Structure 1
């Protein structure tokens, strides 16, 4: 993961690090994407370990030839959603490549996420080709304290969102109930959107286990009617230390 930082002498309060990640493509191709993250002690505007690994693992999960509308809860700097936009549409033939991704987070994450969205759109303009996937990026602030009460903005209400993405946000165990209730509220919104009998919603959760208290997540999912369909453990090499792991889960609620 190459990384560099531009040193500033203008008294700026925010320093930004830029990282370049390689993502697997088709026919032995690799795609390189750049992301900004801030260098500070906060937890919102950073790249977390599970996010790049989760993007790579997702490539094998999307096989149905249909457009995708995905929403991400707690997008941080936008790496999971943007990585998905590179990997997924290229695995399907036209016209099934249409992909809309709505990234959501707290207000303090918006500026860095939008900056990374701009990087992606600029890079796509510079490398235009007939095979470029038509990905539509959206961003909207979403506080889980409001989401659990089914209070969503116009973006979250504009589509039936499936799948719902969530990456490396289980470290704050106190917020798990609000997160899971927001997840279920999106499922209810999907059902209302169709106006028909209840539809299923898939949730893709990527996490790097840190402490046993995070296991409360699985009990909460079960209590709210989510069923585990897939589980995968991926190695996460650490330079000069024992290999850690990243866990990827696919859940469904009908």
Structure 2
């Protein structure tokens, strides 16, 4: 759902760990990547030298930054990498790691702008948090796993505190990983799962037996206006327009 690739390196910028989405995006396995520098693996002939220099400068200064450049998959295919990196320091302010977030951008947008934007930036309010690096990533993966497997979003009364209790963590850490890795707040994150469930049920034909909002309620939405707003914001159309579009597609098949 949230297709952000994550790379954790040591202070010397050697890869320690990548998430599954990074393997999907690039075609490289964790085994091939560990111990290597991201640039030596991903950069190629069309990778901007200026962008590479900006990245190296920011890394040397140990400051959070964002940029965009052309990277290459294992099969040689070029893609736009929208990149955000922040350094991790210990309590003595010694550099210990770099944590990088990458999303794939559109080539045409990249060509129109030399500075593509990314949302995977560490908010200032989390800079002093003790939850960092691999522990932070693992907590978000646990959040995703429990949401998908147990479908907690179907409970319209689900709260941040309830989910934190389920995961045996605190609400501060939970809010941090959802904001940082999900690029949204708790309610937006939960509603995204509810919306996916709604779309699945429409595709499965549930609308033959109840109203659209009736289906939405089964997916965890409890407020009609919230449901319609979330749907329009995410899909760019109303639920009824989405349903009609599906019907037209089926008739043309």
Instruction: Bin the TM-score by the shorter chain.
Output: under 0.3
TM-score by length of 1: 0.26
The one of the two structures with greater contact order (alpha-carbon pairs below 8 A, sep at least 6) is 1
Highest Rg: 1 or 2? 2
TM-score by length of 2: 0.26
Higher strand share: 1
